[in-house]
Amino acid sequence: MSNNTLSITDNRTGKNYDVPIEHDTIRASDLRQIKVKSDDFGMMTYDPAYMNTASCKSEITYIDGDLGILEYRGYPIEQLAEKSTFLEVAYLLIHGELPNQEQSDYWVQRIMRHTYVHQTLTRLMEVFRYDSHPMSILISCVAIQSTFYPEARNVDDPKVREKQIWRIIGRLPTIAAFAYRHRIGRPYNYPDSTLDYASNFLYMLDNMGERNYEVDPIMAKALDILFILHADHEQNCSTSVMRSIGSSRVDPFTALSGAAGALYGPLHGGANEQALLMLRQIGSVANIPTYIERVKKGELRLMGFGHRVYKNYDPRAKIIKKIAYDVFNVTKKRSHLIDIAVELEQIALNDPYFVERKLYPNVDFYSGIIYQAMGFPIDMYPVLFAIPRAAGWLAQWAEMVQDKDQKIARPRQIYLGAPRRDYVTIAER
Ligand code: ACO
């Protein structure tokens, strides 16, 4: 018998089964042979929230939560944040390798040309109420693009796939900037495709018609690095949604609007907002000890701390902390929240409650402070997450579409409802 198997004894029947192990994993469908009677459905696994189920094989992003490691296609996030650009990282995630100069020039040119939106979308923007949440606008505007580009449903054609990828990565900053300008009642700025990706986004958000308007390069660089850090995080909630919707072979606009919907939720893309609100609520360094005591009593959670996967310092949090100081140097408005955050972090990292539970700052602990210093309103935070994460969603979607192991996503259930019964007319109920 091979050592690479798992032996299972079914104590209901006394029968033994050997199930192959590959990559420290067994195939759930191999359990179906385990039956009491020959016409039984067979054994399943019960795994709400996919706590211990691999839904795919992937070559895109690697995380070691215990060691605090995050790599895109094998490249450490620290090196990419220091040396790369968001568009290069998007290429890496989607194509698997860093581009050479020619590939890079073509990719950047294609994406930046697709920053222009269909005029119908500009008109559509007007129908949203003045106080519409920009993330709801983004979700709707991504979905509607499937009506402009019906060919996008040919998801098995690599050329068609690539074109939709350019369109989505190109358009998202424009949609986000238009949603923001709509909210504040200002005319839209059309994209300037001669600028880099982050600079063009800041230009569309901020420009007030100044002839010599210049985007601050330090702000643009900080935003670009934040985009790199948020570009992918393997099989999280929104990425699983992207794969799941995409598995029905629907077009990527529809799938991506669903993924953005998942990101919109407060347990996913909304945690940086919660972290910022918490720092405001603490109010001053002097109030930290009382706040920590309340957290330890279980009355509150320290927002921006802890992670389902990382049981060590989230590598993205370290990089973000440094960016915060770069941004403050430009805005000259050092937020007192950073002092509270740094002190809170120090106290928590030395307190046995947090040490024993392996609770460390996550990506959301400092990002809200940076967005605030850059002047973004709080409801733009999930939008700032969605723009770069689209690169990851599209990379994972493209991998899924080409994966011969994949079929339409269709989980099983354990039915615990009423047994068969006969219909009763309303008069008899
Ligand atoms: N503050 C205080 N205590 C915490 C925190 C926290 N932020 N997070 C976990 N704990 C404690 C729990 O109370 C629990 O203690 P116990 O064993 O005494 O009951 C223990 O640590 C384990 O917590 P779980 O909830 O089981 O951990 P889980 O992995 O399910 O939760 C999560 C991870 C949801 C991120 C959690 O740490 C949390 O709520 N953090 C605050 C919210 C946050 O920052 N979310 C952003 C995550 S990053 C992202 O989504 C991009």
Q: Mean pLDDT check: name the lowest of 39-43, 84-88, 262-266.
A: 262-266
Can you list the alpha helix ranges (DSSP code H) found in 265-351? 271-282, 288-296, 315-331, 336-349
Catalytic residue IDs? 268, 307, 364
The predicted-structure confidence for 360-409, as pLDDT tens digits, reads as follows 988 888 888 899 889 999 999 999 999 999 999 999 999 999 999 999 99
Which atom in ligand 1 lies closest to the alpha carbon of residue 353?
3
Instruction: With residue 385 as reference, give the H or E element that holds it.
Output: helix 381-402
Please check whether residue 1 lies inside any domain of the structure: yes
pLDDT confidence tier of residue 128, bands split at 50, 70 and 90: very high
Which atom in ligand 1 lies closest to the alpha carbon of residue 385?
51
In 3D space, the residue among 229, 201, 217 whose CA is nearest the CA of residue 321 turns out to be: 229
Residue 67 has pLDDT above 90, yes or no: yes
Please check whether residue 13 lies inside any domain of the structure: yes
- CA of 226 from ligand 1 middle (Å) equals 23
For residue 11, which phi and psi values (nearest 5 degrees)? -70, -10
pTM value?
0.93
Checking phi first, is residue 234 left (phi over 0); if not, alpha (psi -120 to 50) or beta?
left
Q: Domain of 5?
A: 1-45
Q: Which of 357, 365, 369, 371 has the most ligand 1 atoms within 8 A of CB, as the residue to mutate? A: 357
- CA of 197 from ligand 1 middle (Å) equals 34
Q: Is 307 in the pocket of ligand 1 (CB under 6 A)?
A: yes
Please check whether residue 337 lies inside any domain of the structure: no
Strands 69-72 and 75-76, sheet pairing: antiparallel
Residue 252 has pLDDT above 70, yes or no: yes
Which atom in ligand 1 lies closest to the alpha carbon of residue 305?
7
Q: Is 357 in the pocket of ligand 1 (CB under 6 A)?
A: yes
The single-letter DSSP state of residue 50 is G
Residue 157 has pLDDT above 60, yes or no: yes
Note the pLDDT of residue 2: 65
- If DSSP codes are grouped into helix, strand and coil, which group holds residue 75? strand
- If DSSP codes are grouped into helix, strand and coil, which group holds residue 93? helix
Please check whether residue 94 lies inside any domain of the structure: no
Please check whether residue 208 lies inside any domain of the structure: no
- CA of 289 from ligand 1 middle (Å) equals 19
Please check whether residue 15 lies inside any domain of the structure: yes
Please check whether residue 331 lies inside any domain of the structure: no
Q: Is 276 in the pocket of ligand 1 (CB under 6 A)?
A: no
What total number of domains does the chain contain?
A: 1
- Cα distance between residue 359 and residue 337, in whole Å: 20
Nearest protein CA to atom 17 of ligand 1, as residue: 357
The predicted-structure confidence for 225-234, as pLDDT tens digits, reads as follows 999 999 999 9
